[in-house]
Amino acid sequence: MVDADAFLQMGREVLAKQPFSVLLGAELMALESGRRELAVAIADALKQQMGFAHGGGVSYLADNALTYACGTAMQVPVVTSEYKINYARPAIDERLIAPARAVHVSRSQAVCRCELFALRGGEEKLCAIAQGTIAKLPDRNEAST
Amino acid sequence: MVDADAFLQMGREVLAKQPFSVLLGAELMALESGRRELAVAIADALKQQMGFAHGGGVSYLADNALTYACGTAMQVPVVTSEYKINYARPAIDERLIAPARAVHVSRSQAVCRCELFALRGGEEKLCAIAQGTIAKLPDRNEAST
Amino acid sequence: MVDADAFLQMGREVLAKQPFSVLLGAELMALESGRRELAVAIADALKQQMGFAHGGGVSYLADNALTYACGTAMQVPVVTSEYKINYARPAIDERLIAPARAVHVSRSQAVCRCELFALRGGEEKLCAIAQGTIAKLPDRNEAST
Amino acid sequence: MVDADAFLQMGREVLAKQPFSVLLGAELMALESGRRELAVAIADALKQQMGFAHGGGVSYLADNALTYACGTAMQVPVVTSEYKINYARPAIDERLIAPARAVHVSRSQAVCRCELFALRGGEEKLCAIAQGTIAKLPDRNEAST
């Protein structure tokens, strides 16, 4: 079991190795056991034709935040198995944050939940809600064919 | 009711106005009533730390393909209300395609389905499956507060 | 706006008019704005071949609890539009309870969440987690065809 | 590998051992590798207060049909891990059928899809669409705690 600071550092190193996360400018804000928060600035590049954050960018954040929450809880390499997301409100503000946590952890996977908030001037507005299964990376001989 | 070519053209114009879609290099491949196909090349920028397409990029494609399928079926401006995605296999190939179609259309929304295939050398491998609700854009006075 | 006791009474009357809920022995335990709890005893009739509560019975409870949470928050007749459920642990205990609440309410629908716990001797064990969209019943002229 | 008739027989024996399925009057209609169909008559006991099939009864059918589709494809004992369902139309007809199939099978689980149709006088109307993960029953030493 590593301490929280070391785990936060590991999480940031993984993020830095993901070209897609770097492209979107994702930042890992907090990381304690079973709970983490991922954030992105809603730069122009994340927008769709009406000036809102594109649903795909919101989904990216949900997917990744769920995965970090599980990885933090299980402390092993993990991948998203499945998730669902409900969009509640267009994200038209400055920054998206995605606090997530594991709500049930078994040996091979965790069920995680995430809320996504748009932030402007310190005010948070809920813009999406996600729930999904994050799985321990299978050993090579268990992999799907 | 516009013809298929005109609608394909409209779809491409919407895509071109989405900075996020442009960033990811998405292309609209085919568009007929209730069925469409969105594709992206799995460029380095879409990858995560193991060299696979990042789940967030796969999600972007699913979300957008579901939305285009509904927009094509309903021929009105639409937004993703919610969806779920199951990842079946890491996308390690050259290109992702996302054929999608509306399976049930009502006045205000459609339930749509999408499969995501990784393509290499003409061979398709299923890498994700999605299902969701795409809603007609609400009139201004119906909007969530 | 009716008071909480009157609303609880109304909720119980609706439940009593649902033959399926009567068949399963569902009880409405608490009902305040945006939060409610539905419960069933895990009678033999709810079980599957291994003696656990059948997933379909757990689903029934999740679906209904989400719907009551939305109805309580919106105070209008509602129907389930869609939901997803993750099973965390077989329900082998005496009683299932399903606290649920609306997490985002708009004019026409609410996004609700629910946890399902198996109870035995006062101890609660999480056995499923659900999230879904509950919609205001459409006016007749908006109905799906 | 057993033949289709023997497998159908096995499937019916499992169903007969599920008190909840017996209570609802479920019947196993067809069973071939990766595809099956479960059906229930919409008896009064399955209804809600407006005379439609209760969502919980529709969910039961979806959950069970997904599970049978996976069990048929994998030919091992399985349990539902998670699923999502979109309701398309109230089921007001005589009988519900739920054709389901596995769309991706790995060593430990399958992603399955199901459509639910209400039948009246030979006409089928789509009333719900489901997608979920069905998992091989874990060995005892892998079980969640």
In tens, the pLDDT along B1-11 reads 556 677 778 88
User: What is the pTM for the complete model shown?
Assistant: 0.90
**Distance separating alpha carbons of residues A100 and A96, to the nearest angstrom:** 13
B10 or C66, higher pLDDT: C66
pLDDT for res B34: 52
Beta carbons of B126 and D106 less than 8 Å apart:
no
Share of chain D above pLDDT 70, in %: 86
Selecting from C80, C89, C90 the residue whose C-beta is nearest the C-beta of D55 gives: C80
DSSP H stretches of helix in C28-93: 55-74
Q: Which residue has the tokens 């017996």?
A: D22
Confidence of residue B132 (pLDDT cuts 50, 70, 90): very high
What integer is the mean pLDDT of B55-82? 88
- Chain D residues with at least one Cβ partner in B under 8 Å: 84, 86, 88-89, 103-104, 106, 111, 113, 115, 126, 129, 131-133
Rounded to a whole number of angstroms, the distance from the CA of C43 to the nearest CA of chain D is 10
Selecting from D47, D56, D88 the residue whose C-beta is nearest the C-beta of C63 gives: D56
pLDDT for res A142: 46
Beta carbons of B23 and A20 less than 8 Å apart:
no
User: Which residue from C minimizes the CA distance to D125?
Assistant: C145
The helix/strand/coil state of D71 is helix
Mean pLDDT of the residues in chain D: 82
The helix/strand/coil state of C36 is strand
> Do residues C23 and D53 lie in contact, with contact meaning Cβ atoms separated by under 8 Å?
no
User: Which residue from B minimizes the CA distance to D131?
Assistant: B131
Which residues have CB under 8 Å from A13's CB, separation 6+?
Answer: none
pLDDT tens digits along A58-80 = 898 899 899 988 888 888 888 99
Return the exposure string of A56-72: e unless at least 16 CB atoms fall within 10 Å of the residue's CB, then b: bbbbbbbbbbbbbbbbb
Strands D95-105 and D35-41: antiparallel
Q: What are phi and psi of D25, to 5 degrees?
A: 75, 30
Q: Which residue has the tokens 């409209």?
A: B10
User: Which residue from D minimizes the CA distance to C125?
Assistant: D145
pLDDT for res A87: 96
Q: Which range among A7-11, B30-34, C42-46 shows the weakest confidence by mean pLDDT?
A: B30-34
> Do residues B80 and B68 lie in contact, with contact meaning Cβ atoms separated by under 8 Å?
no
What integer is the mean pLDDT of A81-105? 90
Beta carbons of D142 and A107 less than 8 Å apart:
yes
pLDDT for res C142: 46
**Distance separating alpha carbons of residues B60 and B65, to the nearest angstrom:** 8
Beta carbons of A84 and B83 less than 8 Å apart:
yes
Q: Which of D131, D49, D121 is nearest to D90 (CA)?
A: D49
Edge-to-edge strand list for the sheet holding C109-120: C27-32, C35-41, C95-105, C109-120, C123-136, C78-87, D78-87, D123-136, D109-120, D95-105, D35-41, D27-32
**All structural domains of chain B with their residue ranges:** 4-142
Selecting from B107, B133, B145 the residue whose C-beta is nearest the C-beta of C81 gives: B133
Contact residues, chain B, for C84 at CB < 8 Å: 84
Bridge partners of B79, per DSSP, are: B135
Region for residue C122 given its phi and psi (left: phi exceeds 0; alpha: psi -120 to 50; beta: otherwise): left
Chain A with chain C: Cβ pairs closer than 8 A:
43
| Tokens, residue B36 | 């469409």
pLDDT for res B33: 55
Q: Which residue has the tokens 């091992």?
A: D76
Chains that touch C (3 or more CB pairs under 8 A): A, B, D
**Distance separating alpha carbons of residues B90 and B48, to the nearest angstrom:** 11
Class of domain D4-142: alpha beta
Q: Which range among A11-15, A106-110, D98-102 shows the weakest confidence by mean pLDDT?
A: A11-15
Q: What is the DSSP letter of A12?
A: H
Beta carbons of D80 and C20 less than 8 Å apart:
no
**Distance separating alpha carbons of residues A12 and A29, to the nearest angstrom:** 9
pLDDT for res A25: 84
**Distance separating alpha carbons of residues B34 and C11, to the nearest angstrom:** 40
Look at residue A145 and tell me whether its pLDDT is greater than 50: no
Beta carbons of C82 and D87 less than 8 Å apart:
yes
**Distance separating alpha carbons of residues C58 and C141, to the nearest angstrom:** 34
Interface test with A, best of B21, B47, B80 (most A CBs within 10 A): B80
**Distance separating alpha carbons of residues D137 and A120, to the nearest angstrom:** 47
Classify residue A5 as exposed, middle or buried by CB count within 10 Å of its CB (0-12, 13-18, 19+): exposed
pLDDT for res C128: 96
The helix/strand/coil state of A58 is helix
* The dihedral sign for the CA sequence B63, B66, B72, B75: negative
Confidence of residue A34 (pLDDT cuts 50, 70, 90): low
Edge-to-edge strand list for the sheet holding A78-87: A27-32, A35-41, A95-105, A109-120, A123-136, A78-87, B78-87, B123-136, B109-120, B95-105, B35-41, B27-32
Rounded to a whole number of angstroms, the distance from the CA of A137 to the nearest CA of chain D is 13
pLDDT tens digits along C25-63 = 888 876 555 556 777 777 777 777 777 788 888 898 899
pLDDT for res C145: 36
> Do residues B38 and B64 lie in contact, with contact meaning Cβ atoms separated by under 8 Å?
yes
pLDDT for res C143: 43
Confidence of residue C129 (pLDDT cuts 50, 70, 90): very high
Beta carbons of B82 and C133 less than 8 Å apart:
yes
**Distance separating alpha carbons of residues C52 and D24, to the nearest angstrom:** 17
What amino acid occupies position A34?
A: G
Most confidently predicted of B123-127, C93-97, D2-6, D30-34: B123-127
pLDDT for res B143: 43
| Tokens, residue B98 | 């996302």
Contact residues, chain D, for B89 at CB < 8 Å: 104
Look at residue B81 and tell me whether its pLDDT is greater than 90: yes
How far is the CA of B133 from the CAs of A113, B66, B104, D87, in angstroms?
20, 8, 10, 10
pLDDT tens digits along C73-112 = 888 888 999 999 999 988 876 788 888 989 999 999 999 9
Mean pLDDT of the residues in chain B: 82
Chains that touch D (3 or more CB pairs under 8 A): A, B, C
Beta carbons of C142 and B104 less than 8 Å apart:
no
Q: What is the DSSP letter of C17?
A: T
The helix/strand/coil state of C133 is strand
pLDDT tens digits along D40-92 = 777 777 777 777 788 888 898 899 899 988 888 888 888 999 999 999 988 87
pLDDT for res B35: 59
How far is the CA of D34 from the CAs of B126, C66, D113, in angstroms?
16, 32, 10
